């Protein structure tokens, strides 16, 4: 059995207030701790992926804030205190400062993070 803390999880992406930490949790899953400052829109970083949306599923809990999740079927709003499942095909936008803990399939999630990093570098 393993426990994870935000402070003990390596930083994957940071800058402009964004703090994104992730660690493989075992069983083919990765745990991530995300802080998205108000106004963060992940859509530009997802351009080039299928449908320009994140293709990785995520299960998690919104600790703080509100965000809009854009999908091909329309937008949904999520708020602090909600557990969620986001299926493939989404792009988040932070309507307030947001803190999240989530679990995702490692292989798919790593591919998305590599794409986001490449977009930021380009």
Query: What would the DSSP string read from start to end of 20-57?
Result: EEEEEEETTEEEEEEEE-TT-B-HHHHBTBGGGSB-S-
| For residue 10, pLDDT beyond 90 | yes
Residue 32 sits in a domain whose CATH number is: 2.60.120.10
Report if residue 21 sits inside a domain.
no
pLDDT in tens, 38-73: 999 999 999 999 999 999 999 999 999 999 999 999
Count the domains in the chain: 1
Report if residue 34 sits inside a domain.
yes
Report if residue 87 sits inside a domain.
yes
Q: Is the pTM higher than 0.85? A: yes
Report if residue 6 sits inside a domain.
no
3-state secondary structure of 90: strand
Count Cα atoms within 13 angstroms, Cβ side, for 20: 19
Cα–Cα distance between 119 and 76 in angstroms, integer? 25
Domain that holds residue 43: 26-121
| Pairing of the two strands 29-36 and 74-79 | unpaired
Report if residue 35 sits inside a domain.
yes
């Amino acid at each position: 059995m393993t426990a994870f803390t935000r402070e003990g999880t390596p930083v994957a992406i940071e800058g402009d207030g964004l703090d994104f930490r992730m660690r493989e949790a075992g069983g083919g899953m990765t745990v991530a701790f995300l802080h998205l400052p108000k106004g963060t829109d992940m859509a530009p970083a997802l351009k080039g992926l299928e449908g320009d949306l994140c293709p990785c599923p995520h299960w998690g809990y919104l600790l703080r804030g509100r965000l809009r999740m854009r999908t091909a079927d329309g937008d949904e709003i999520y708020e602090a205190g909600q557990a969620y499942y986001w299926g493939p095909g989404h792009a988040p936008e932070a309507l307030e400062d947001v803190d999240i803990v989530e679990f995702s399939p490692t292989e798919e999630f790593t591919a998305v993070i590599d794409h986001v990093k490449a977009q930021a570098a380009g």
